[in-house]
Amino acid sequence: MTESRDLPKSAAQRIAFIFPGQGSQAVGMGKELFEKFPIARKTFEEADNALGYKLSQVCFEGPEEQLRLTEITQPAILTVSVAALRVLEGRVPKPSFVAGHSLGEYSAHVASGTMTFADAIRTVRKRGKYMQEAVPVGVGAMAAILGLELEKVSAVCQEAAQGEVCSPANINSPEQIVISGNTAAVERGTKLADERGAKRAKLLPVSAPFHCSLMKPAQDRLEADLNALKTQKPVYPVVCNVEASLVSDEIRARETLVAQVTGSVKWEQSMRLLIEKGVQTFVEIGPGKVLCGLMRQIDRSKTCLNVADDASLTKALQQFGS
């Protein structure tokens, strides 16, 4: 990789906004931003109105079991991410690119103006519902495989499938790959990965087997909703999970969001694409610091800031000299 000092000045200053997905939720998220910034308060009110219930209350007060329900988690994370984005906008340079992990790709499209926030929030509520309903509870599972390269994980999945579904779902970093499919097949895959030298292989406490072919019923239902949405050409190129490529027109934006339901999240490849494009600074916008943690495993030389609350916002603004 060319050192930033050898790049043209504009490339040396390239930043990307990245948005977290499911699993980053926590009771209390967004509360500080809501209390301190009118634009964040307006964002939560917009979400409450679009959904017809007090999503803000679930975000701030829980209970956690309710916040963990997929059809609540997805709009909740999207809302906190967009609230943080709106607080940040105008205080830091504009991004050259945007990306989001799974659900976070919707936040990225809101940031890029591909779809309105209200449309996105209603769509991800349905996305969560469809994903939950696609597979009966207990039929599917997911597992995290740590410290085993993709080629070996893919081989493990093929061997473990035995006529069922087992495939890489999230290629998060060189250290972390999540597999998804039928429960028995994923259990076999976890055991095989252990035997083949994974540092750790463990089943995840998730309610459905996301990003595998078992999600096809959800994908079909979501496609109709996405095709009915009014979308615009993205202002900033959006990295799509399913291809780890840049999307810069609204038709491909919809197609890739549809394909993403059953396709793998190619997060590591997506981040490497942005690094190749000269991005030096990544700003994770929304709850948690999961994506910054993954960036340390992908390329420690890059700067990754996060904006989730008042303290992290202040720190990020100091880094930008704002």
Which residues are known to be catalytic?
Answer: 102, 211
Q: Where are the beta strands (DSSP E) in 49-163?
A: 97-100, 140-146
In one-letter notation, the amino acid at residue 295 is M
Q: Where are the beta strands (DSSP E) in 6-149?
A: 15-19, 97-100, 140-146
* Pairing relationship of beta strands 97-100 and 238-240 according to DSSP bridges: parallel
Give the max Cα distance, the chain: 56
Q: Where are the beta strands (DSSP E) in 87-241?
A: 97-100, 140-146, 166-173, 176-182, 200-203, 238-240
Torsion of CA 129, 289, 306, 114, to 10 degrees: -20
- For the chain, give me the number of helices (H) and strands (E)? 15, 10
Q: How many CB atoms lie within 10 A of CB 6?
A: 9
